[in-house]
Amino acid sequence: MELIFDKTTNSLEESKLIAKEIFNQINLQDVVVLNGNLGTGKTTLIKFICELYKIYNSTSPSFSIVNEYEGDAKVFHFDFYRIKKVEEIYDIGFEDYLNYEESIIFIEWGNLFPEILPKNHFEIQLELNSDNTRIIKFIKHN
Ligand SMILES: Nc1ncnc2c1ncn2[C@@H]1O[C@H](COP(=O)(O)OP(=O)(O)O)[C@@H](O)[C@H]1O
Ligand SMILES: [Mg+2]
């Protein structure tokens, strides 16, 4: 595991710059897991990264489990928050999404089911401080 960066953001604009740095480090086939409590900014950060792929319609998939977007890349956006059993993730074809060749996968709340994450993946840890600043850590697991 390698810490790529550890940054503090004070605003949506600063988070956009962090999104750009993440965008520059990821490629097709990558899995990017976002871990952090409700309201820390997982969906927002994914939205900013998606915009860099010219995807402007990303939304929180908490009810649908997965959203699919198409821009300069195909993006699959998962949210495991409401999932109770790992079977639910397999039932919607998680393996097929992982094997899909030309896509980026984002997973909010991936830490709820660590056993199904591929060994190689990126992790973004988000924390909200009491002064409303946010810590964003970008980590590579391999
Ligand atoms: N860097 C930021 N600065 C200010 N507000 C932010 C920032 N990131 C997210 N927010 C706000 O926090 C709220 C929750 O963000 P969201 O991305 O939905 O969190 P999560 O997906 O982690 O639950 C939203 O209103 C969003 O606009
Ligand atoms: Mg969210």
In order of their start, the domains of the chain are: 2-141 (3.40.50.300)
> What is the CA(41)–ligand 2 centre distance, in A?
7
Q: How far apart are CA 56 and CA 126, in angstroms?
A: 22
Contact 118, 31 (CB under 8 A): yes
Q: Per-residue pLDDT for 10 more than 90?
A: yes
110 lines ligand 1 (CB under 6 A): no
- pLDDT at res. 101: 85
Q: Within 13 A of 36's CA, how many CA atoms are on the CB side?
A: 21
Q: How far apart are CA 37 and CA 30, in angstroms?
A: 23
pLDDT tens per residue, range 109-140: 999 999 999 999 999 999 999 999 999 999 99
77 lines ligand 1 (CB under 6 A): no
Q: Residues near 17 by Cβ (< 8 Å), separated by ≥ 6?
A: none
pTM summary value: 0.97
Tokens of 3: 């810490």
Instruction: Give me the residues paired with residue 140 across strands.
Output: 2, 122
